[in-house]
Structure 1
Amino acid sequence: MTSSNLELITAALSAGLLPRAEQLSREQLLMRPHDEDVLLLLAISLHLQHKLAEAIEVYARLTDMSPDSGVYWGNYATALRESGSLQESAQAYAVAKRVAPDNAGILMNLGLLLLQLRDFVDARETLLEAHALNPDSPYVRIHAARACSLCSDTKANELVKPWRHWLPLNDDELQLELANVLTTLADAEAAQQLLEDITLRSPAHLPTLIQLAALHERMNRLDEAGLLLRKISATQPALDEATRQEIIHQEARLAMRKGDLTDARNMLERTGPRDSCDYAHYFILAEVCDKLGATEDAMRALAIAHARQMEEMKLVSPSSFAPGAPVLPTAQVRVTVAEYRRWPKLQAPDALSSPIFIVGFPRSGTTLLEQMLDAHPTFQSMDERPFFNILSDRLGAYGVDIPQDLGKLSQRDCDELRKDYWSLVCEKVPRNWQTQMVDKNPLNMLWLPMIHRLFPEAKFILALRHPCDVILSCYMQNFRSTALVTACASLERVATAYVMAMEHWLHHVDVFQPHVLVSRYEDLVTDFPRQTRMIARFLGVAEDAPLREFDVHARNKGYIGTPSYTQVIQPVNRAGLNRWGRYRREFELLLPVVEPLLEHWGYSGHPDD
């Protein structure tokens, strides 16, 4: 075959004239039926026309003709994947990877297949391999970030950090995927920018409109979310079943947010879960039932939610389910007084040059405290990030274990770690250096030894709430963190995790004697002015009035990256007090587990007291 004929077919493909490319290829094959170049062009033209059965047949023929061609096997596997033949696709990708181990495209597509098969751990490793081979590809980085975020791997943030330099992506599906990853990473403003950019190019791109409506709700823009959902239903009446279900779920959430609880429950029960893996449906249904006082229905929904969520977690973090795996791994090792006395004395920032740390077991009121401080001009907060987990992982790569090896860190080591910490902060939020940073992450209570090594003069506010209310609220939450999901799989596990975390904290408070203010949620909501004055005095600010206006500040803030984003835009109220009393039967076996901490903090095991 002459090169001019090949050029004609290639030009037709490049111009998007796919039927023409197919026709030219078939004409050439009449004369040269075994020409691999023409067969490949024919297969590609069929593939791009979504004539998958025909394309698969040609790709299969090519793999028979040249069984050592990674390109042929990779294209064959991709066509099989797109046709829904997932197991056959996996077998073909295995061959493609064997014959072309350094082909980033093959690894990338294999990673996508593994995601589709819900093999999240292998998908992450495969996509990170593809990234190592092709580190500058936005396509590889975005999909690798998605896999990392599914596995709670902090590499996700690093992978998509340069996203602004990739624009315009000119690929709606890829840009939507990037927006979803950024939403998961709590960068809602960036996600909104990307979604709105897609709507400018493709105003009827339904997946983008659906995701944008969900983001509006997540940013407490309820009217905008409702308006967009109504617009979708009015302008696109021929919706498929999956899209229709998603719209109903979003409408039910909006109804719940507006207090139309019966309507929300009816919508959720009428439409049912989106698929057999949909645990979010049951978490929302349980929340609605709880608000309606239907406690038994709420517990039934939660049992299903956690069972389905655990099936996914076993795929994401199989080590968490190994025999003897601890409920809270970070709470396993403690620093003793004798070990602390051997730490060398090092120079460190004073209290004003250190962050303020808000800690406490999740659902204890940490977000409320954060928003209060963020409303004050003296302070600046950010959505929570696992900075100390990240720093610990970095040290672990060099054989330094935390907290066991904290005493081995030199002055230079600690100085560099503080620089790394502030670098992570500045990546998260534009830093206003005229303010003091507020670092709110509930389970930073488990990182007290490391925080004390870097910021020994830092002030802590411990958010405290009745342990039974905390345990119940955690069990009802659809957390993203793998550690929290596995710790909250049952009321018994949450109770165990709570006790472990609190005992770990109390032990290290005795060892390090940090500056701690205990903020009791029950006191905060029943005598707000007195508590704001106490907090202001502890932090050394004269004016406490801005702390009391947190709800206005939070509403103007937009995105708040915690489960309590719906509560902190409201003034303080007593709605969450003694909530566990309605579930007293479920707590009968748990009270002995938490009794030592009930006694320590002066709480009663009787909800009506």
Structure 2
Amino acid sequence: MTRAIDEFPSDGRLPYQLYLLYKTQLRQEEALAALIKAVDREPDSADYQLKLAIEYGVMRWTGDAERAYLRTIKLDPTALDAYLGLAIQYEHSNREEEFGPLIALARKNGIAPEPLAYVEALQLRRAGQFDEALTKLAMVPTDVEPIRTAHARATLLDRLGRTDEAFTAYTQANILAYQDNPTDPLDRARELREQLAKEITMLSPEWRDSWEEVEIADGRPDPVFLVGFPRSGTTLLDTILMGHPNTVVMEEQPPLNHVEEALGGISALAGMDSDAIAKARDDYFNEVENIQPLAPGQLLVDKSPLFLYRLPLIQRLFPNAKIILALRHPCDVVLSCFMANFRLNSAMASFLRLEDAAELYDLAFRHWQASLALFPANVHPIVYERLVEDVAAEIRPLFDFLDLQWDDNVLNHSRTARSRGLITTASYSQVTEPIYRRASGRWEKYRDHLAPVIPVLEPWIESFAYTLPGKES
């Protein structure tokens, strides 16, 4: 096909077909390159422009995505998906002030009221008009953003205190996400949990003692790692840390994962010599430089919650790393993960069902505790419930731990959040709000629905000094 593409340099259909082929093979960067070539050849194709906007969004290139969506609308003012794509981008970048002009443009260009009701519902939800937003969502056709619409309805029902209806709606939204999904998210999630269980059996003193002792002398300071089960307040924490002038926060980016893949997994750690560790560190810092360049003296915070089960790798490559562990009541965490609309990588796919989410929680912390017993890392816990009660009291000791001078600007996390642009985590809207306590203890309203998984979580509830109100002694 590549030869045909070169032989017919004005034909956009051939690189577009190559783009579709690469997409089926999950070769994202090559797919995007082929699509760009198709657009270059046929710049007036609204369909190609729309696909390009979507792919830029996948790559988190928000400025490019917005320009491509607007170009699509210019080429085809009736392209509904372009308006929806822009609305979703505005939602995730907390630019709710853009909803009004977008709705007005869509109406002017003849977009029907029923699909446009989805954007209007987002606007009303941001304004706190939850009943009105529900009414709008009821107008949205079933083929317009079905998963996002179902999830938005569930969040509104939760905010209105209609707990049983909300739980049913979240369940239905999650079923839509995995039902007939060609990427088999439930199978991928199961395979990851099986891999973690296998790794836990490897974490023994004998394995640790087989490691070759090496000295690291490249002069580069080790990163700080911010870990913790998803929905434990890690996005709030990283936003607070971003507010300090001497920190650079890298949020859920792949350098450490790429290094682990190149090594062949944690089973390869024992066989690493000084040259292998030096190369792995070089690879990591080179990728970081491409994503989040550091100025001299700045502290790198690598935030990725589920590095919770990457402690052996962190200790092998970065033995002086400081680690921030975010903690929150296990029931609140698992419920919140079940309620979140994540991109379905192999880890997040476990949150489509409560039982899978609880199993992953148990495995992740078993992995963490087994690893911590072997590698006494320098760990500072941050407890979500204390954080939302008194931010400064919980954060000041953290800054001492990180050897950072206190800066009052870190307390203005809402301003920091709004300056971030696109926020890719499920907490994108919450971190722009003032600190609130409504999510602490929310699980108790859903206790009956959580009952099947509480036995799995109960050992961790006790381990982290939480309680199960109403439990008989």
Aligned to 1:407: 270
Aligned to 1:586: 449
Correspondence 1:333 to 2:333: no
- Structure 1 residues 352 and 421, CA gap change in structure 2 (3 angstroms): closer
Query: Which residue of the other structure, out of 320, 338, 344, is the alignment partner of 2:187?
Result: 320
Give CA deviations for 1:59-102 in whole Å, capped at 9, x if unaligned: xxxxxxxxxxxxxxxxxxxxxxxxxxxxxxxxxxxxxxxxxxx6
For 1:376 and 1:517, locate their aligned partners in 2 and report how far apart those are by CA, in whole Å: 18
Aligned to 1:223: 97
Deviation at 1:407, TM superposition (A): 1.1
Aligned to 2:146: 278
For 1:214 and 1:366, locate their aligned partners in 2 and report how far apart those are by CA, in whole Å: 22
- Structure 1 residues 288 and 349, CA gap change in structure 2 (3 angstroms): farther
Aligned to 2:50: 176
Counterpart amino acid of residue 133 in structure 2:
A
Counterpart amino acid of residue 57 in structure 2:
T
Query: Which residue of the other structure, out of 376, 394, 408, is the alignment partner of 2:262?
Result: 394
For 1:465 and 1:427, locate their aligned partners in 2 and report how far apart those are by CA, in whole Å: 33
Native 8 Å contact 1:216 1:224 kept in 2: yes
- Structure 1 residues 146 and 565, CA gap change in structure 2 (3 angstroms): farther
Native 8 Å contact 1:598 1:604 kept in 2: yes
SS of residue in 1 equivalent to 2:179: helix
Aligned to 1:459: 322
Aligned to 2:122: 253
For 1:179 and 1:147, locate their aligned partners in 2 and report how far apart those are by CA, in whole Å: 18
Deviation at 1:197, TM superposition (A): 4.6
For 1:421 and 1:555, locate their aligned partners in 2 and report how far apart those are by CA, in whole Å: 29
Unaligned runs of 5+ in 1: 1-101, 107-136, 397-401
Correspondence 1:562 to 2:425: yes
Deviation at 1:312, TM superposition (A): 3.8
Correspondence 1:298 to 2:170: no
For 2:401 and 2:18, locate their aligned partners in 1 and report how far apart those are by CA, in whole Å: 45
RMSD (Å) for aligned C-alpha atoms: 3.0
TM-score, reference length from structure 1: 0.69
Deviation at 1:430, TM superposition (A): 4.4
Native 8 Å contact 1:219 1:558 kept in 2: yes
Native 8 Å contact 2:324 2:379 kept in 1: yes
Deviation at 1:254, TM superposition (A): 2.0
Correspondence 1:212 to 2:86: yes
- Structure 1 residues 541 and 325, CA gap change in structure 2 (3 angstroms): closer
Aligned to 2:109: 236
- Structure 1 residues 354 and 158, CA gap change in structure 2 (3 angstroms): farther
- Structure 1 residues 467 and 569, CA gap change in structure 2 (3 angstroms): same
Query: Which residue of the other structure, out of 262, 282, 302, is the alignment partner of 2:131?
Result: 262
The structure showing larger relative contact order (alpha-carbon pairs under 8 Å, at least 6 residues apart) is 2
- Structure 1 residues 214 and 587, CA gap change in structure 2 (3 angstroms): closer
Counterpart amino acid of residue 139 in structure 2:
R
Counterpart amino acid of residue 584 in structure 1:
R
Native 8 Å contact 2:23 2:31 kept in 1: no
TM-score, reference length from structure 2: 0.88
- Structure 1 residues 331 and 230, CA gap change in structure 2 (3 angstroms): farther
| Residue correspondence of structure 1 range 366-405 to structure 2 within 5 A | 366-396=234-264, 402-405=265-268
Which has the larger displacement, 456-465 or 484-493? 484-493
- Structure 1 residues 578 and 161, CA gap change in structure 2 (3 angstroms): farther
For 2:15 and 2:375, locate their aligned partners in 1 and report how far apart those are by CA, in whole Å: 46
Native 8 Å contact 1:359 1:444 kept in 2: yes
For 1:255 and 1:220, locate their aligned partners in 2 and report how far apart those are by CA, in whole Å: 14
Native 8 Å contact 1:351 1:458 kept in 2: no
Counterpart amino acid of residue 101 in structure 2:
L
| Residue correspondence of structure 1 range 473-484 to structure 2 within 5 A | 473-484=336-347
Counterpart amino acid of residue 156 in structure 1:
Q
For 1:353 and 1:206, locate their aligned partners in 2 and report how far apart those are by CA, in whole Å: 49
- Structure 1 residues 204 and 271, CA gap change in structure 2 (3 angstroms): closer
- Structure 1 residues 574 and 212, CA gap change in structure 2 (3 angstroms): same
Deviation at 1:162, TM superposition (A): 9.8
Native 8 Å contact 2:115 2:141 kept in 1: no
- Structure 1 residues 371 and 262, CA gap change in structure 2 (3 angstroms): same
For 2:317 and 2:15, locate their aligned partners in 1 and report how far apart those are by CA, in whole Å: 36
Deviation at 1:304, TM superposition (A): 1.5
- Structure 1 residues 431 and 294, CA gap change in structure 2 (3 angstroms): same
For 2:429 and 2:121, locate their aligned partners in 1 and report how far apart those are by CA, in whole Å: 15
SS of residue in 1 equivalent to 2:146: coil
Native 8 Å contact 1:272 1:281 kept in 2: no
SS of residue in 2 equivalent to 1:437: strand
For 1:185 and 1:346, locate their aligned partners in 2 and report how far apart those are by CA, in whole Å: 37
Aligned to 2:212: 344
- Structure 1 residues 187 and 267, CA gap change in structure 2 (3 angstroms): same
Deviation at 1:478, TM superposition (A): 1.5
Which has the larger displacement, 421-430 or 493-502? 421-430
Counterpart amino acid of residue 389 in structure 1:
N
Native 8 Å contact 1:331 1:446 kept in 2: no
SS of residue in 2 equivalent to 1:463: strand
SS of residue in 1 equivalent to 2:300: strand
Deviation at 1:329, TM superposition (A): 3.0
Unaligned runs of 5+ in 2: 6-13
Native 8 Å contact 1:328 1:500 kept in 2: no
For 2:324 and 2:219, locate their aligned partners in 1 and report how far apart those are by CA, in whole Å: 13
Native 8 Å contact 1:581 1:607 kept in 2: no
Give CA deviations for 1:122-157 in whole Å, capped at 9, x if unaligned: xxxxxxxxxxxxxxx864665456446xxxx5x424
SS of residue in 2 equivalent to 1:382: strand
Which has the larger displacement, 263-272 or 285-294? 263-272
Counterpart amino acid of residue 230 in structure 1:
A
SS of residue in 2 equivalent to 1:604: coil
For 1:349 and 1:597, locate their aligned partners in 2 and report how far apart those are by CA, in whole Å: 39
Aligned to 2:355: 492
Deviation at 1:345, TM superposition (A): 1.9
Identity %: 30
SS of residue in 2 equivalent to 1:438: strand
For 1:232 and 1:523, locate their aligned partners in 2 and report how far apart those are by CA, in whole Å: 45
Aligned to 1:549: 412
Native 8 Å contact 1:532 1:547 kept in 2: no
Native 8 Å contact 2:50 2:69 kept in 1: yes
Residues paired across the two proteins, number: 460
Give CA deviations for 1:488-535 in whole Å, capped at 9, x if unaligned: 122222111111111111111111111111100001111211112111
